Chain A
């Protein structure tokens, strides 16, 4: 059984991700966010549960819908907000934006805005892990839509033939951008993709943070022990549209409501109360803590300077001898 404190920690992380995303949405309406954003409300249990199974030395890649991963991994919400607001205190000094949050020190190798592009990079991190013998693993997050692009298939194949310590975490949220899964993919259960590469595959309820954590934990240990890659399909749902400009009017009536009833944070609250004896008062305190952290980070980030003094040539090409 997952220890009491650990379970509460999962809940707090999920709240942080949810509050962060809600705040980004509000900030967009206030004119603080530019271009577009891709939010992950409804999918918090996947990033929080899977990343909780990683160690400090492990690394991960993720996608343009990647705020959940970086917050779950421990990136300072202020650095994430500031990046999304284009400020110099952002984790990428305002040069990357919403789709490019990263922090090498935390093993956050990068958020890739081209579908499928993060997978080969995680495979490379896994090759490094296999070579250096330090027992590291790599993890890569991607959506159901990514399983139709070439880089996915090449990465799965290479990971399988080289038995690499990498966990492919598929967030199957039933939509590839605006298109329902069955209009773009011949089946809904994507573990079948892994069968094609003779890869260990596990399907899990992606709105159950404890289940995601348990399944990811087994996959991570297997990879550390030389057992090779795992494809971990997490069934979940994107409660918002694909991006800023998508009202998601294509959803069948009642679908959103059905999934909101299965909301991962609600599920976690019931789990904490039922299995661990937490009270509404305890959960209320956690909610207040998360809201305060996000509010303070938001205020600092939105007051930060523009990156007008950053040396953009040096950001493009490193000088000889750098690192």
Chain B
């Protein structure tokens, strides 16, 4: 069945359908039951599933994120809502030292099927402590799967796939996307295996995640008007990253741009560029480029926040810079 719905409603539907399909699924988080979630991402779930399966917690991320592990080992499939991705910092021990490593430290003799949903990203005037995507905090941690939801279908599928997965999964949702609307296929999800090509092109490969994806798609439309054909990928699977489709694309376009909503240091684009240099070096016609946040915390003022986050215009400019450098380099070397 397909229905048009907002990103926010797709998040609700993903949890609702997972709970309908499996009585072991329960939700815990701050103000997710009676209030339906501070961002209304759990609205209606208390009414349908009751207070045992939809639980308002104290403001105690260490306790309820750690508790998800105990629930998972006891046969439940908890979904945790972490209100802001920034709050991963207060339960980073639970995520990084306990959840990510427990299976390994037990020799792979147990599974930890649990899902943490968290809402990140800027553009919403929340300031420096409520605007991070958290991607760079999770990128280097073995033992986690991390999905980044760039649209309603992805949000729905990633929640369903995350609940089905035998591993700990973190789904990052983007706050600036809540009102985006698209048709969503329900109950038709598979595993999240890697990046998804959204636009086909031959001059440059642009990889984006979360809120940068729709901007990259719009940039591709504008670039086409200037005669530049961009191929756009939604990264989707941050960890373990699957770069093969991107490398395949690069062998065709010979140029790479990563668009990230995190500062450059430690960002996922570094991994993509590294893979490109290691495995597709001979195909590159221009230095791989990254468009990221600047190296300072997110400013509050709209004038400054909008300038910090890569815009469609800046993506177009960065792409053209890569393409024309590539062309110039090609002409010069020829």
Contacts and interface: CB of A to CB of B under 8 A. Distances in A.
A110 B142 CA distance: 19
Contact of A323 (B60, B67, B166): B166
A127 B70 contact: yes
B66 A315 contact: no
A96 B70 CA distance: 18
A128 B62 contact: no
Nearest to A307: B107
A126 B111 contact: no
Given A318-B166, A321-B166, A120 B106 contact: no
A123 B74 CA distance: 11
Contact of A110 (B67, B71, B106): B106
Nearest to B68: A124
B111 A318 contact: yes
Given A109-B73, A157-B58, A157-B60, A93 B108 contact: yes
B175 interface: no
B97 interface: yes
Interface string B281-317: 0000000000000000000000000000000000000
B58 A158 contact: yes
A95 B143 CA distance: 14
A80 interface: no
B67 A316 contact: no
A59 interface: yes
Contacts of B330: none
A94 interface: yes
B185 interface: no
A182 interface: no
A248 B165 CA distance: 47
Interface string B86-130: 000000011001100011111111110100000000000000000
Residue from B58, B70, B73, B164 with most neighbouring chain A CB atoms (10 Å)? B70
Given A109-B70, A128-B74, A316 B104 contact: yes
A44 B75 CA distance: 31
Interface residues of A, number: 53
Nearest to A128: B74
Residue from B52, B74, B164 with most neighbouring chain A CB atoms (10 Å)? B74
B23 to A, nearest CB: 10
Nearest to B166: A318
B76 interface: yes
Interface stretch (A147-155, A172-180, A206-214, A264-272): A147-155
B191 interface: yes
A155 B64 CA distance: 8
A323 B111 contact: yes
B104 A120 contact: no
Nearest to A310: B107
Interface in A71-107: 90-96, 100, 102, 104
Interface in A100-145: 100, 102, 104, 109-110, 112-114, 117, 119-129, 131-132, 138
Contacts of B97: 113-114, 117
Contacts of A323: 110-111, 113, 166
Contacts of B113: 323
Residue from B98, B107, B110 with most neighbouring chain A CB atoms (10 Å)? B107
Contact of B74 (A120, A125, A314): A125
A120 B63 contact: yes
Interface in B5-56: 26, 52
Nearest to A124: B70
A267 to B, nearest CB: 33
Contact of A121 (B69, B104, B110, B166): B69
Contacts of B145: 317
Nearest to B191: A320
A272 B14 CA distance: 60
A288 interface: no
A112 B106 CA distance: 11
Contacts of A317: 103, 142-143, 145, 167, 240
B181 interface: no
Contacts of B110: 102, 104, 323
A102 B143 CA distance: 18
A95 B94 contact: no
A166 B97 CA distance: 23
A229 to B, nearest CB: 13
| Closest 6 pairs between A and B when the two form their complex, measured CB to CB | A124-B70, A120-B66, A93-B107, A315-B108, A124-B67, A128-B74
6 contacts: A61-B70, A91-B106, A121-B66, A155-B66, A317-B145, A317-B167
